[in-house]
Amino acid sequence: MEIEGSRNLQAACVYPVAEGLRVHTHTPRVRKARRRVVELLLSEHNRECPTCPRSANCELQALARKVGARYGKLASQPRCEPKIVKNPFIVRDYSKCVKCRRCEAVCKNMQGIGVYVPLNRGYETIIAPAFERNLAEVACIACGQCLLACPTASLTERSYIEEVWQALDDPAKHVVVQTAPAIQVSIGEEFGLPAGTVVSGKLAASLRRLGFDSVFSTDFAADLTIMEEAHELLHRLAKGGPLPLISSCSPGWIKFCEHFYPEFIDNLSTCKSPMEMFGALAKTYYAQKAGIDPKDMVVVAVMPCTAKKFEAARPEMTTYGLRDVDYVLTTRELAKMLRQADINLNKLPEEDFDQPLGLSSGAANIFATTGGVMEAAIRTALALTEGKELGRLEFKEFRGTTGIKEAEVELKGQTLRLAVAHGTNNAKKLMERLKRGEKFHFIEIMACAGGCVGGGGQPITGDPEKPELTLEHRQKRAAGLYALDLSKELRRSHENKAVLQVYQEFLGEPMSKKAKEILHTHYTA
């Protein structure tokens, strides 16, 4: 901007405001300077724009259009060698980095980790883990918040779209899809709907149109998780520990715990996440029931999360020698596949998920927002211990955006201290309190602010204000889930008839030998 009385142009974001300051924001000199800055960025930028994964919602592209920048005015060779580092979750491409350092800021300030640092000097600068190590070799938790912050495609998810198309095209494969609770309130954004619009029925219809053989929901397995986790809590309370029991559905949180708080690994619930439980059950119970050889089954999970790609690849996540989940697609990747197949989700009719692994309670739906797992577990734990269905269903003390939420609940004459943290920065504060000796009985931790609704695989608006990073935007998605819960007759996990049927026909009872074999795992420091 140009300031009257000042010779040089000034940066609006840092210049101190003062009484009487006269500012001009669109003079010819300002417009030319802005255009020149963007042209400088473009001069070293990889130019595969038409085929770039962020094409059409890239902030650099939008800025270039806005200021009228042109290629060819300045040096025209991209400076950085395109360098793509691969692991199962995040791809980094330095040739598209504009060195804004948002990834560094979000990782350090929002998540409290700090795997990115600036390396080298001047034009040679790159933003990367120290010594340019692979993200898999450092304390990265794969949460993908850096992807949401990135203005270009310098950081993207490791895509499995091609592998999933190949499986769908293979007539010898039975391809099962499960979709996470968060997807039904966020994928609509990719098709022009407001955040929080519930599209469960259209989502099921769209997956069927893509050619999946069975269209199920992770929410079913969230109910199953509650059965196992509520019983695990009751067992640990009866046995005296290890307490607190800490939830284990969020793979970013598990990785954070392994890196920074290994002394609490025994406190983690041994329950696999709902995604993994679903995969394990699909390849055992469902394969048996449907007469399918599990080796011919491919399980695809649609998740709001990049850490789920990491989780699916973990050696702990196998059952009887087979991987529980074969491919994880983010919300964005599924939207891309639908566009590739010319399917406009918004125009589809409402359809049901397939049964039996498609039925879910309202308690399962709210898993995807901070406090949801706790609320779902307490609904069931209270009903199980009281031996009757209690009137109280909603626990508003676990809702909302406060970083750490705490409450006490009476369970069979015992007062339980409960806590919920979201975002690893808040998790860190809570874990430090545990280290100082504070006592809790049960804790829910989700790696991303707001819970899974704010996962690193969720839609990116391309807006420089980055609404996808804000808690307000994530709360709109959460509001959709609470409305969905409220609209259901079935609101407690242990009342899910399909889950009860699985116990009756296959698992026996919660925490049985078979349930432990298939649905539980353990982590080592």
CA atoms within 13 A on the CB side of 148: 31
Q: How far apart are CA 227 and CA 319, in angstroms?
A: 20
Q: Would you say 249 or 345 has its CB closer to ligand HC1?
A: 249
Counting residues that bind ligand HC1 (by CB under 6 A) gives: 20
122-181 positions binding ligand HC1, by CB under 6 A: 180-181
Q: Which of the residues 39, 283, 452, 476 is marked catalytic?
A: 452
Residue with smaller CB distance to ligand HC1, 129 or 144: 144
Q: Say whether 217 is catalytic.
A: no
Please report, as a single letter, which amino acid is at residue 410: E
Span from 62-70, 144-152, 298-306, 380-388 in contact with ligand HC1 (CB under 6 A): 298-306
The contact mask relative to ligand HC1 for 368-387 (x = CB under 6 A, - = no) is: x-------------------
> In this complex, which beta carbon is closest to ligand HC1, that of residue 42 or of residue 224?
224
Summarize the chain as % helix, strand, coil (round to 5).
45, 15, 40
Distances (CA, A) of 180 to 184, 305, 467, 509, 522: 8, 9, 22, 25, 22
Give per-residue burial for 346-364: e unless 16+ CB within 10 Å, then b.
eebeebebbebbbbbbbbb
- Residue 367 or 482 having the CB closest to ligand HC1: 367
As a whole number of angstroms, the distance between CA 431 and CA 146 comes to: 23
Distance of CA 284 to the CA centre of its chain: 26
Cβ of residue 24: shortest distance to ligand HC1, in angstroms?
Answer: 47
229 is known as an active-site residue = yes
Name the residue nearer to ligand HC1 (CB basis): 129 or 371. Answer: 371
User: Is there a catalytic annotation at residue 143?
Assistant: no
Is 163 marked active-site?
Answer: no
Annotation says 76 is catalytic: no
Please give the Cα distance from 501 to 42 (Å, whole number): 59
Q: Are 285 and 319 in contact (CB under 8 A)?
A: no
- Under the criterion CB under 6 A, does residue 274 sit at the interface with ligand HC1? yes
For residue 204, the surrounding DSSP H or E stretch is helix 200-210
Q: Return the residue of 103, 115, 305, 443 that touches ligand HC1, per CB under 6 A.
A: 305
Stretch in the footprint of ligand HC1 (CB under 6 A) among 61-69, 153-161, 271-279, 288-296: 271-279
182 binds ligand HC1 (CB under 6 A): yes
- One of 229, 276, 375, 468 is an active-site residue; which one? 229
- Bridge-based pairing of strands 297-303 and 245-246 is unpaired
> Contacting ligand HC1 (CB under 6 A), which of 63, 140, 275, 329?
275
**What is the distance in angstroms between the CA of the first residue and the CA of the last residue of the chain?**
53
Residue recorded with tokens 């280290």: 435
Residues 455-474 that bind ligand HC1 (CB under 6 A): 455
250 touches ligand HC1 (CB under 6 A): yes
Q: How far is residue 221's CA from residue 178's CA, in Å, rounded to a whole number?
A: 10
Q: What is the footprint of ligand HC1 within residues 425-454 (CB under 6 A)?
A: 451-452
Cα 136 to Cα 306: distance, rounded to the nearest angstrom: 13
Query: Is 308 considered catalytic here?
Result: yes
Among residues 69, 90, 222, 434, the one that binds ligand HC1 under rule CB under 6 A: 222
Q: Minimal distance in Å, beta carbon 410 to ligand HC1?
A: 26
396 is catalytic: no
Residue 46 binds ligand HC1, judged by CB under 6 A: no
Closest CB to ligand HC1 among 191 and 367?
367
Burial 87-113 (b: 16+ CB within 10 A, else e): bbbbbbbbbbbbebbbbbebbbebbbb
394 is an active site residue: no
Q: Which amino acid is at 95?
A: S
Judged by phi (left if over 0) then psi (alpha if -120 to 50, else beta), residue 502 lies in: alpha
At its nearest, how many Å lie between ligand HC1 and the CB of residue 181? 4
Q: How far is the CB of 403 from ligand HC1 (least distance, A)?
A: 17
The residues binding ligand HC1 (CB under 6 A) are 180-182, 218-219, 222, 249-250, 273-275, 303-305, 308, 367-368, 451-452, 455
**Enzyme catalytic residues:** 229, 232, 249, 269, 308, 311, 316, 452
